[in-house]
Amino acid sequence: MLLEVRDLTTAYQGLVAIQDISLEVGEGEIVAVAGANGAGKSTLLKTIAGAESSRAGTITFAGERIEGRAGHLITRAGIAYVPENRRLFPRLSVRDNLRLGSYMFRGQADRDEPLGRVFKLFPRLQERLPQRAETLSGGEQQMLAISRALMTRPRLLMLDEPSQGIAPKLVDEIFDAVVAIREAGTTVLIVEQRLSEVLAIADRGYVLQTGRVVITGTAKEILDHTDVRKAYLGV
């Protein structure tokens, strides 16, 4: 397993946001985490990324325990995280945002190599290079945030609600990109509220409810689950 989360509990402002969550992500998989607002999906990703500290449990990445490490060290270990609000550097150019993604590499080849991959994935970013990040549309900002994350050459890419606040046409483009990213060898852990769309591209999934895993299985198993059909798909 590339990522192994065991019995993870995180409290956020005194309230337990996730409780005893266990989750696995294998190399080359797309794993979806679904659930309603406030189910703890974002907290789960934040805790793995080191932006939130856990109260109990372990996180093992590529054989190493990473819980409690500072965020920048987790990025350096090979986990790239795209938070819900994207956290771009708004007044820096698209080019500078991308270049900062490869900040931790010293060699020029290491820094340029992922750029070609990013432009192939999102050609429109190449036209926007000199523009400030804040001038991009919501969809383009999401593309830039994913691209900046890919510039760190991660083994695992974690996306938090990449479809949020984005024109429907671009949502498909983002989901297609996620598939392409996996095909290029990067494992993906994706949090989404759009259950049927994300399960269409995921191999497996977890459904959270009030901080706990309530359903887990292959994408098909989850889609066929009666509770899921009732709660999320309205059928």
Partner 1 sequence: MTPEIFIQILASGLLMGLIYALIAVGLSLIFGLMDVVNFAHGEFMMLAMYATFGAVLLIAIDPLFLAPLVVAALFVVGATAYLGVVQYAMRAKANLGMVQIFATFGLAVVIRGVAQLLFTPDYRNLPPNLLGGKTVSLGGIYLPLPQLAGGLVSVAAFTGLWLLITKTDFGKALEATREDAGAVALVGIDKNRVFTLGWGLGAALVGLAGAMLAINYYIYPDVGAPFALIAYVVVALGGFGSVFGALAAGILVGLVEAVSAVILPSSLKAVGIYALYLAVVFVRPRGLFGSL
Using CB under 8 A, list all residues that contact partner 1: 49-51, 70-72, 74-76, 80-83, 87-92, 96, 99-101, 103-104, 148-149, 151-152
Nearer CB in complex with partner 1: 29/160: 160
Nearer CB in complex with partner 1: 122/232: 122
Pair of tokens at residue 44 = 């789960």
Q: Say how far apart CA 63 and CA 4 lie, in whole Å.
A: 9
Angle 38-42-44 (CA atoms, 0-180°, nearest 5)? Answer: 105
H helix or E strand, kind and range, residue 81: strand 79-82
How many C-beta atoms surround the C-beta of residue 176 within 10 A? 12
Nearer CB in complex with partner 1: 34/74: 74
**Closest distance of CB 44 from partner 1, Å:** 17
Nearer CB in complex with partner 1: 146/202: 146
Contact status, residue 80 vs residue 152, Cβ threshold 8 Å: yes
Nearer CB in complex with partner 1: 174/201: 174
Give the HSE-up count for residue 203: Cα atoms under 13 Å, Cβ half-sphere: 14
**Closest distance of CB 87 from partner 1, Å:** 4
**Closest distance of CB 93 from partner 1, Å:** 10
Q: Say how far apart CA 214 and CA 221 lie, in whole Å.
A: 13
Question: 82: which strand partners?
Answer: 159
**Closest distance of CB 20 from partner 1, Å:** 26
Q: Say how far apart CA 149 and CA 209 lie, in whole Å.
A: 28
**Closest distance of CB 141 from partner 1, Å:** 13
Nearer CB in complex with partner 1: 145/219: 145
**Closest distance of CB 41 from partner 1, Å:** 18
Q: Which residue has tokens 């856990």?
A: 54
Question: 205: which strand partners?
Answer: 32, 217
